[in-house]
Structure 1
Amino acid sequence: MSATTTRTVAPSAGDPLAEAVELTKRLKLPHIRRHLVELVPTARAQRWDHAELVRVLLAEEAAGRDATNLRTRRARAGFPAGKTLHDWDATASCIPRPTQDALTSLEWVGRRENLCVCGPSGTGKSHFCEALGQAAVEAGMTVAWFTIEDLGALVRRHRADDSITRALARLIRTDLIIIDDIGLLPVSPDAAEGFYRLVDAAYERRSLAISSNLHPSGFDEIMPKTLATATVDRLLHHAHIVVTQGDSYRLAQATSGKGVTALT
């Protein structure tokens, strides 16, 4: 005895394409709706199999959602400059190429390891960290970008109701957290507290990447020694340390006239 399929949807009483468009609105399928009107006539003219039309429409929806999710993750990350690996000059960097390749693979993020990029100002630390963060976003990960003083502001914002622990618990759901430009200025007490709390909360749970003018061993120069010791101990336990050197790229461009468009 053959099985029969019971149809629960009545045939269209009017224009099936118009009804399909309305259904995409109801079901929140904006990317299918965008392509439906043009693809149905194409499928009819080229005699596509019905399954092929369904496949193409679903593929357009999936691609559209992926693009939207990418834009959302990038916006939430809070990157400062939009610098990516596409405009990173690997040949000009003093970081060894094998090290660059290993870090851009992002396998260390999957292992919940940390990265410390330290060296003089203008040697590409922030650019490289942001480029890695952008690559992580493109790979489907979530990223958050902070300066160390942003962490101080986070502590102050949550001190009134003692909710800093809950705020950090939400933050470390992020796959990669980047803290930029440590060591340029003395660290405020709130920022030192926020930095320690973040490193402690993320320890062996999430990856941190920091850029710093100081090697982490010198953090006791900018924050209380006891707090610096506890922070560095956790930060470096599972960390890759990359030391940059040389003259500032920005200064080199400025002195060679490449920092601006020539006046005419």
Structure 2
Amino acid sequence: MSEAIRSMCKSLRLAYVADIYENIPFETPEQFIESLFSEEFRLREKAKIQRLIKNAKFLDSKSISTYEWHEQIRFPTQLDKESLLSLSFIQKQQNVVLIGSPGTGKTHLATGLGRKACEVGFEVRFYRVSHLIEQLEQALRHKRLEAFRRKFEKVDMVILDEMGYLPFSKEGSELLFHLIAEWYEQKSLIITSNLEFSQWNRIFTDSRLTAALVDRLIHHAHILTFSGESYRLTNALSKSH
């Protein structure tokens, strides 16, 4: 590979041509160019997906392909498994709320849907709710709240995991409320929680704020409920015997 060709590829922003052209079979000039550019596009798309997944900051590599669907997941009447997996709710800026006991597969499903969204080109962010509130409070203290909120401008979907596992301060509750209010009808949310909406007063200190938050979340939401024993507990018990 001559430096001249490598330099021209760089100027044309062809990221992979210089490294792959020798491996492309040559039958006709037209076929060679088409195969070369097809491979350039394929590698660009692969890199884009890897970048989207990295930016999402999932806590693990769980995917939909490894998800164990079970009969204890109750779908709302307007949604079934196929329409959930089609991710059409993201294009419609709708929310998905997964409610049920710990260990019943909510976070795995949320992560799997998030990863699938990245694979088709959506910008996704994953947060444990307690960590998000910590970051919001830090941003407020350092007068960087506006900059923090701007980070979500081009994000299509935000996953808020473990809503309700830890109570929030009044300040934290208000910061989260204002952020979710900004996202209302602008982005999709996936929320996992071990508490029914009627119990959210436990985590949000202000009952009026709680009611307003729930109202926004469920206005365009598909609510799935999970029942049954904890997978983690069941697996741990089975391994101990």
TM-score by length of 2: 0.90
Describe the SS at the equivalent of 2:73: coil
Contact 1:168/1:201, CA 8 A, preserved across alignment: no
The equivalent residue for 1:86 is: 65
TM-score by length of 1: 0.82
Contact 1:125/1:211, CA 8 A, preserved across alignment: yes
Q: 1:240 aligns with which of 199, 213, 222?
A: 222
Matched AA of 2:96: L
Q: 1:126 aligns with which of 107, 119, 122?
A: 107
Q: CA deviation at 1:101?
A: 2.1
Q: 2:15 aligns with which of 30, 51, 64?
A: 30
Matched AA of 1:95: I
Matched AA of 1:226: R
Q: Is 1:95 the counterpart of 2:73 in the alignment?
A: yes
How many residue pairs get matched? 236
Q: Is 1:209 the counterpart of 2:190 in the alignment?
A: yes
Q: 2:56 aligns with which of 77, 93, 99?
A: 77
Q: Is 1:154 the counterpart of 2:135 in the alignment?
A: yes
Q: CA deviation at 1:61?
A: 0.8
Runs of at least 5 residues in structure 1 that lack an aligned partner in the other structure: 1-16
CA distance, structure 1, for counterparts of residue 179 and residue 66 of structure 2: 30
Deviations 1:20-58 (A, max 9, x none): 34422443423211211233xx41xxxx22121111111
Describe the SS at the equivalent of 1:171: coil
CA distance, structure 2, for counterparts of residue 60 and residue 240 of structure 1: 39
Q: CA deviation at 1:221?
A: 1.5
Matched AA of 1:173: K
Q: Is 1:180 the counterpart of 2:161 in the alignment?
A: yes
Contact 2:137/2:172, CA 8 A, preserved across alignment: no
Residues 231, 114 of structure 1: alpha-carbon distance in 2 compared, 3 angstrom cutoff:
same
CA distance, structure 2, for counterparts of residue 86 and residue 124 of structure 1: 13
Contact 1:145/1:177, CA 8 A, preserved across alignment: yes
Q: Is 1:221 the counterpart of 2:206 in the alignment?
A: no
Q: Is 1:168 the counterpart of 2:149 in the alignment?
A: yes
Q: Is 1:194 the counterpart of 2:172 in the alignment?
A: no
Q: CA deviation at 1:227?
A: 1.8
Matched AA of 1:94: Q
Over the aligned positions, Cα root-mean-square deviation in angstroms equals 2.1
CA distance, structure 2, for counterparts of residue 231 and residue 187 of structure 1: 14
Instruction: State which structure, 1 or 2, has the greater radius of gyration over its C-alpha atoms.
Output: 1
Q: 1:64 aligns with which of 39, 43, 55?
A: 43
Contact 1:116/1:241, CA 8 A, preserved across alignment: yes
CA distance, structure 2, for counterparts of residue 33 and residue 169 of structure 1: 37
CA distance, structure 2, for counterparts of residue 165 and residue 121 of structure 1: 34
Q: CA deviation at 1:180?
A: 0.2
Describe the SS at the equivalent of 1:256: helix
